[in-house]
């Protein structure tokens, strides 16, 4: 199975190499800003001519936003715009132009309705001080050295890795991976190189192919499994909040930049900002490491994993829970499970956002009309079941897999999918066929949940 995969390694750059990388990142920014200025000038000119009543066929010629067109325009003007262009790799300028072409396409698709999700704004100019330095190489010499502790990139030469690249080197030597690009980026005060690789992964099977597990994510426990296992929420941000507050107060006492007066930040301000950035990066790394370990274990152990399609953006609107929800990383758990279940030969089933997993009794199937967030135990008035709220929801999620296994093809019918839970509503017995093959992601359609579930599911 061929798939796209990334390998990311930390770098140990000397001062000369760091200056070279920063120069390439600056070249990408210059090309991006120049091309954006050209696009804006043409758009503004055409808009002004329309106000004069000039016909469309007589307007200033429109400028193409495709990467080849932007690259052609840049090559024609680079001698005047950047006389130093020969000091940097052509990939540096291509990085900025490619970022602009993607941004303009996303903006246009968002306006015409071709792109779903949030509305994408018009691209902005990149600032030297606020933009994260980054440059991507797609051509030239890109390889991992035989000692597996150095990499070679175009114009930058031989760079030392902070850690061994043996995992990637083994694949390259075996011929099961091919490097497509390499991106050098600075995150949290440290430089990293990320290789985008086309890997030929061997077919794998989960340790328990017939096992089905429902995963109910929350705040008290990061995840509650239908098997009864409780995954504690480490709350890395809350644990490091005292240190972050100390560093933030120390930063506020330094002389920082002022855009209104053009004041430059002091050296001590820059050092304090770097310390604060490293502290935030440590919290993010701890969170990422824990989520990767959890999702890898679930994907390797169980053949079917069932999760919910949570409205995380809506949950963050609750100012009392937003910080803890963001610290847990609900969306990241689902994102990692999506590709890890495919890699391990399993399947991921996603329950619809309106499926009442918490309000449904896992014993008899009765659906409650209301369930307050403060009720941490589920009490069924029909069969008398008393069970932990999260464990009950996880069991209901695991039970959804039967609708895929026992039916034929097509989506599973919802329980009166009007996004409302009827008072005393019993689970409908009518079903329509639905399947999800191994290595794919299935979606369970609406099951009848109240519209305010966005907040009540943040547990």
Condensed to tens digits (0 to 9), the pLDDT of residues 346-358 reads: 999 999 888 888 8
| Residue 263 falls inside a structural domain | no
The pLDDT of residue 415: 43
- DSSP conformation class of 86: G
Predicted confidence (pLDDT) per residue in 81-130, tens digit? 999 999 999 999 999 999 999 999 999 999 999 998 889 999 999 998 88
Comparing 229 with 439, the larger pLDDT belongs to 229
Q: What is the pLDDT of residue 430?
A: 31
How much is the pLDDT for 406?
60
Q: Which residue has the higher pLDDT, 276 or 434?
A: 276
- Whether pLDDT at 427 is above 60: no
Q: How many domains does the chain divide into?
A: 3
Same domain? For 107 and 23 the reply is: yes
List Cβ neighbours of 188 (8 Å cut-off, separation of 6 or more).
Answer: 277, 278, 280, 281, 282, 284, 285
Does residue 173 form part of some domain?
Answer: yes
pLDDT at 453 over 90: no
What are the CA-CA distances from residue 263 to residues 67, 249, 272, 403 (Å)?
Answer: 37, 20, 17, 64
The residue whose two tokens read 């599911």 is 457
Q: List the alpha helices (DSSP H) in 181-260.
A: 236-239, 241-252
Does pLDDT of 433 surpass 70? no
Sign of the C-alpha dihedral computed for residues 43, 47, 52 and 57 taken in this order: positive
77 and 22 in a common domain: yes
Find out whether 100 and 122 touch, Cβ atoms under 8 Å.
no
Is the residue at 413 inside a domain? Answer: yes
Q: Where are the beta strands (DSSP E) in 328-419?
A: 347-351, 377-379, 386-388
The pLDDT confidence band at residue 19, using thresholds 50, 70 and 90, is very high
pLDDT tens digits along 263-313: 999 999 999 999 999 999 999 999 999 999 999 999 999 999 999 988 888
Cβ(393)–Cβ(357) below 8 Å = yes
Same domain, 292 and 421: yes
Is 188 domain-assigned?
yes
Which of 373-384 are b and which e, b meaning 16 or more Cβ less than 10 Å from the residue's Cβ? Answer: eeeeebebeeee
Distance CA 389, CA 260 (A): 53
At 31 the pLDDT is 97
34 lies in which domain range?
18-112
pLDDT band at 376 (very low <50, low <70, confident <90, very high): confident
Q: Residues 218, 188: one domain? A: no
Same domain, 36 and 162: no
Do 396 and 417 lie in one domain? The reply is yes
> Is pLDDT of 238 > 70?
yes
pLDDT tens profile 175-212: 999 999 999 999 888 999 999 999 998 889 999 999 99
| For range 2-20, the mean pLDDT | 94
| pLDDT: which is higher, 454 or 292 | 292
Quick check: is 23 in a domain?
Answer: yes
Single out the residue of 193, 192, 137, 148 nearest to residue 171, CA to CA: 148
Q: Is the pLDDT assigned to residue 418 strictly greater than 70? A: no
Residues 195 and 293 in one domain: no
Q: Does 256 map to a domain? A: no
pTM of the model: 0.82
Q: What confidence score (pLDDT) does residue 441 get?
A: 55
Task: Tell whether 257 is covered by a domain.
Answer: no
Check pLDDT > 90 for residue 423: no
State the average pLDDT for the chain.
86
The answer to whether the CB of 389 falls within 8 A of the CB of 378 is yes
> How many other C-beta atoms are found inside a 10 Å radius of the C-beta of residue 223?
25
- Helices 241-252, 267-301: inter-axial angle, 10-degree rounding: 160
438, 441, 447, 451: CA torsion to nearest 10: 160
Residue 193 is predicted with a pLDDT of 97
145 pLDDT exceeds 80? yes
Closest by CA position to 11, among listed 195, 155, 277, 271: 195
Residues 405 and 442 in one domain: yes
CB crowding 60-88: b at 16 or more within 10 Å, else e: eeebebebeebbebbeeebeeebeebeeb
Which alpha helices (DSSP H) does 52-66 contain, by range? Answer: none
Residues 334 and 440 in one domain: yes
> What does the block give as tokens for 310?
């949570």
Cα–Cα distance between 294 and 375 in angstroms, integer? 27
Lowest mean pLDDT among 51-60, 71-80, 251-260, 403-412: 403-412
Output the pLDDT for position 374.
Answer: 84
Residue 383 is predicted with a pLDDT of 87
Active site residues: 216, 308, 390
Residues 84 and 150 in one domain: no
Q: Residues 22, 96: one domain?
A: yes
The secondary structure of residue 175, as a DSSP letter, is T
Lowest mean pLDDT across 1-10, 199-208, 280-289, 418-427:
418-427
Residues 435, 302: one domain?
A: yes
Structure tokens at 113: 């309705």
Read off the pLDDT of each residue in 145-161 and give the average, rounded to a whole number.
Answer: 95
């Amino acid at each position: 199975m061929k798939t796209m995969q990334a390998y990311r390694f930390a770098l140990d750059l000397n001062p000369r190499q760091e200056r070279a990388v920063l120069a390439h990142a600056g070249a990408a920014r210059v090309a991006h800003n120049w091309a954006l200025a050209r696009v804006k000038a043409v758009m503004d000119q055409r808009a002004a001519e329309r106000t004069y009543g000039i016909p469309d066929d007589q307007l200033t010629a429109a400028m193409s936003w495709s990467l080849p067109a932007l690259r052609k325009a840049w090559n024609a003007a680079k001698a005047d715009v950047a006389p130093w262009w020969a000091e940097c790799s052509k990939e540096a300028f291509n990085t900025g132009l490619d970022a602009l072409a993607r941004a303009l396409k996303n903006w246009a698709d968002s306006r015409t309705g071709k792109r779903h999700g949030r509305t994408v704004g018009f691209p902005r100019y990149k600032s030297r001080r606020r933009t994260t330095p980054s440059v991507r190489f797609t051509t030239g010499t890109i390889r991992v050295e035989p000692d597996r502790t150095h990499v070679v990139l175009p114009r930058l030469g031989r760079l030392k890795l902070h850690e061994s690249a043996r995992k990637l080197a083994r694949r390259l030597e075996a011929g099961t991976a091919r490097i497509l690009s390499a991106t050098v980026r600075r995150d949290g005060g440290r430089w990293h190189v990320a290789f985008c690789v086309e890997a030929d992964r061997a077919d794998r099977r989960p340790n328990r192919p017939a096992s089905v597990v429902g995963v109910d994510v929350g705040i008290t426990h990061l995840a509650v499994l239908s098997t009864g296992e409780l995954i504690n929420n480490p709350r890395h941000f809350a644990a490091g909040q005292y240190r972050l507050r100390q560093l933030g107060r120390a930063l506020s006492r330094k002389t920082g930049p002022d855009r209104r007066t053009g004041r430059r930040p002091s050296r001590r301000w820059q050092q304090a900002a770097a310390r604060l950035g490293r502290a935030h990066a440590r919290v993010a790394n701890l969170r990422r490491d824990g989520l990767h370990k959890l999702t890898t274990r679930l994907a390797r152990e169980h053949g079917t994993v069932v999760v919910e399609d949570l409205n995380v953006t809506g949950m963050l609107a609750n100012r009392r829970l937003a910080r803890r929800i963001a610290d847990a990383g609900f969306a990241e758990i689902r994102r990692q499970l999506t590709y890890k279940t495919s890699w391990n030969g399993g399947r991921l089933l996603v329950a619809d956002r309106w499926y009442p997993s918490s309000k449904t009794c896992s014993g008899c199937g009765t659906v409650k009309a209301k369930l307050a967030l403060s009720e941490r135990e589920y009490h069924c008035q029909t069969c008398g079941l008393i069970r932990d709220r999260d464990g009950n929801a996880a069991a209901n999620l695991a039970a959804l897999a039967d609708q895929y296994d026992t039916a034929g093809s097509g989506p599973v019918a919802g329980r009166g999918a009007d996004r409302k839970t009827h008072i005393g509503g019993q689970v409908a017995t009518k079903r329509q066929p639905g399947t999800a093959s191994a290595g794919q992601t299935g979606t369970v359609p609406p099951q009848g949940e109240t519209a305010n579930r966005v907040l009540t599911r943040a547990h």
